[in-house]
Structure formats: structure tokens, C-alpha cells
Amino acid sequence: MNFIQQLHAAQTLNDSLLCVGLDPEPSKFPGAWKGDASRIYDFCAAIVDATKDLVVSFKPQIAYFASHRAEDQLEQLMAHIKRVAPSVPVILDAKRGDIGSTAEQYAREAFERYQADAVTLSPFMGFDSIEPYLRYRDKGAILLCRTSNPGGSDWQNQRLADVAGQPRLYEHLARLAQTDWNQNGQLGLVVGATYPAEIARVRELAPTVPLLIPGVGAQGGDAEATVKAGWRAGAGGREGQGGPIIVSSSRAVLYASAGEDFAAAARRVALATRETLNAARR
């Protein structure tokens, strides 16, 4: 299956819109693991094992591994997810953005080294910075569109005077992701949970592409408002009926407890979040 098909299948199998972000911070690890970067794999694998039947996706953030020289642990974790949760697609949160041969190497890193099913990208440098990823026809490329950080408005919310209708930059990008750029049906968009009105606008402009929506939980995004803005009837059915939404929560799940029960606590928070998301769509 390609990435979009994997999302639909995982959504149905696990009855979930929830993505658990894997952003390991050793300073927050429990007990004897606290501060020990060599335990990054152990910590993340325990979270995966506790939540694998509750999620539509996992999303490891590459900087949290690379900053601790733990890329080998990320490779090990990716292999573990493929082994214990083969039906759950993995999004490598890398936000890469470069052109030509450099983009080719980043694509190889994401899809061959780490075996990710999709990767997040910055589209600031234009379509030729995206195209190398699209050569992997069964993989996904998820473009930053309307991000949850306050500074996102510095660029994303500005109007384009030389484009018909003077759309905002994020609106123009949403149209491109739905049409001209989405040559193989591989693109998705990142839209932050802290801006539900913009989520609704992106969904209007890009009705069939997946939306990766971070910001629920510790960042303050409202789960119910997020689903109502991005979910459309039919999105959970046959491929092509509607774009799925992937609602990501990281810290609220990972650090639900600082004790030895951290994995069980993570499961409880993930289960409660999944049920909140499902109630909003039903």
C-alpha cells in the first residue's frame, strides 16, 4: 500500500485519528533512565508498545535523536515499529527543505535509511525541492502550510499580490498541494491545531489531501475544534472519498508520568485523546 492507503487502513483498524509524536528528551525520562541518552530507544519503544493499537501513525522527530548522536537508535526504533505495528505508518518529522542533489540525499535518508512512510518538508524553495521525494511513489511528502507557532504568521498569513484573488501564502500552498504539485497523489499538509479556522480553510481548498495537525495537548490545541475543522464525512471510507486527518500529540502522551508507570500512563492519555477525537467526528 502507498502512504495514503496505509493511513486509511490504520484509521479503520485502530479506530483512530491520533498520531503519537516521538520527541524523546532524556531529561524527562523516568527513574534511573533520567538524563541517559542511551535509553532513547528503550523509552520510545515502550511508548510504541503501549499505544500501537490506539494510533493512526507515529511521528519521530529527527532532531531529538540527532542532537544526542542517537541516529542509530532512531533506525532501531523504526525497525521496531515496522515489526510490532506493521499496519501503522511512520512519519519522519524532519522538515527538510533543499533542492537538487541535496534533496535527493535527504529523500534517501528518510525513505531508505530510516524506512519512513512519509516525511515532513518545508516548501519554501518551491516544487523542485519537493520533486525528489515524489520519485518514491509509495511514500508521502507532508508540506508545512499553516503551522502552530506564533511566528508562522510572519510569512504564511501574508497575501500574494501577483496571484489571482490575492490569497494568503498558506492558501496558495494548499491549492498547489491539492492540484498542480500533487502529481502522484502523495502530498499532505501540516496545519496547526492552534488555528482551527485556518484548518477549515485549508480543508476547503484541499479536500482530499491528508492533514497532519500538531499542537493538541501541551501546545494548547483543542481536540474537538480541530476535528470539527478538518474532518469531513467520508474521510474514513474508501480511498479518495476524503482526506484523512492525523492529529498529533507528543509531550502530553510521552510524559504523562515521570514514574515507572510511564508507559501505562502514556496509554491512558492516548486512549482518552483517541476517544475525544472520535467523539468529535461522530
The three grid cell numbers given for residue 273, joined into one nine-digit string: 485523546
Residue 59 appears among annotated catalytic residues: no
**What's the DSSP call for residue 186?**
-
Beta bridge partners of 239: none
Angle subtended at Cα 246 by Cα 243 and Cα 252, rounded to the nearest 5 degrees: 165
Long-range Cβ contacts of 229-236 (<8 Å, 24+ apart): 229/196, 229/197, 229/199, 229/200, 229/203, 230/191, 230/199, 230/200, 230/202, 230/203, 231/17, 231/280, 231/281, 232/203, 232/207, 236/8, 236/11, 236/12, 236/281
Joined together, the cell numbers standing for residue 118 give 512519509
Give Dmax over CA atoms of the chain in angstroms: 59
In angstroms, the Cα distances linking 278 to 12, 31, 63, 65, 99 are 12, 34, 31, 31, 39
Catalytic residue among 28, 95, 139, 228: 95
How far is residue 113's CA from residue 124's CA, in Å, rounded to a whole number?
A: 25
Determine the distance from the C-alpha atom of residue 203 to the mean position of all C-alpha atoms in its chain, rounded to a whole number: 16
Tell which residue, 263, 267, 255, 274, has the closest CA to residue 25. 255
CB 169 within 8 A of CB 155: yes
The catalytic residues are 95
